[in-house]
Amino acid sequence: MKDLHEMTDEQLALSYIDGNNRAFDLLLQRNQSKLFSYILFVVRDREKAEDIFQDTFVKVITKLHARKYTTSGKFSAWIMRIAHNVIMDTYREQKSENIVEAGEDNDLTHINPQNILDSNIESQYINDQVLRDVKRIMDKLPASQREVVFMRYYQDMSFKEIAETTGVSINTSLGRMRYAVLNMRRMAKEHKIELQLD
């Protein structure tokens, strides 16, 4: 039998379904940071994000125990879809169409620009400033546009995965991205912000 650390997430999920609890511990360890970052970015409130994160993993465990997981796609996309549904359920319960106002700690600082950019020290300052400007502009986008930008550029998901995760068509995902880019360009122009990395 393969060592757990050599298994893919999909193999770990199947191993957990077959009764290996350590497989789930490793799945959680591998996916919790990415999933929590996504939830926090969408809901923009740490306490609410923690609740949604816990609800998501309760649903993940329940679905795995019910054998409702198949390896037809990436495990990470599957749990992102569950998280998306939990977020939508939360907002339906609140009967609110708006994302909760941003908390003081939600400015995407958990995303390290050094992981995104490979540049020399001289241009790093400029690149850091551009990324700060982009993050501020992204915070002003409508929730559906902010979500698709985050999934595409910070989670590196394909438009097909984004469509599946958010429960819309690929064309809708592409449309949201298009409008997000147009809105970001408009806001950058209005505020005379140069969004070019060196």
Per-residue confidence (pLDDT) for residue 2, from 0 to 100: 77
Q: Which of 96, 95, 108 is nearest to 42 (CA)?
A: 108
Per-residue confidence (pLDDT) for residue 123, from 0 to 100: 56
User: pTM of the full predicted structure?
Assistant: 0.59
Average pLDDT over residues 164-175: 87
Q: Report the C-alpha gap between 196 and 183 in whole angstroms.
A: 16
DSSP label at 45? -
Per-residue confidence (pLDDT) for residue 143, from 0 to 100: 86
Per-residue confidence (pLDDT) for residue 97, from 0 to 100: 45
Per-residue confidence (pLDDT) for residue 102, from 0 to 100: 46
Per-residue confidence (pLDDT) for residue 31, from 0 to 100: 93
Q: What is the 3-state secondary structure (H, E, C) of 60-98?
A: HHHHHHCCCCCCCCCHHHHHHHHHHHHHHHHHHHHCCCC
Per-residue confidence (pLDDT) for residue 100, from 0 to 100: 45
Render pLDDT for 63-83 as a digit per residue (tens, 0 to 9): 998 888 987 778 998 999 999
Render pLDDT for 34-43 as a digit per residue (tens, 0 to 9): 999 999 988 8
Does pLDDT of 99 surpass 80? no
Does pLDDT of 122 surpass 50? no
Tell me which of 175 and 134 has the higher pLDDT: 175
Does pLDDT of 104 surpass 60? no
Q: What burial letters (b/e) apply to 35-47, b meaning 16+ CB within 10 Å?
A: bbbbbbbbbbbee
Q: What percent of the chain has pLDDT over 70?
A: 78
pLDDT level of residue 30 (50, 70, 90 thresholds): very high
Tell me which of 193 and 38 has the higher pLDDT: 38
Tell me which of 125 and 121 has the higher pLDDT: 125
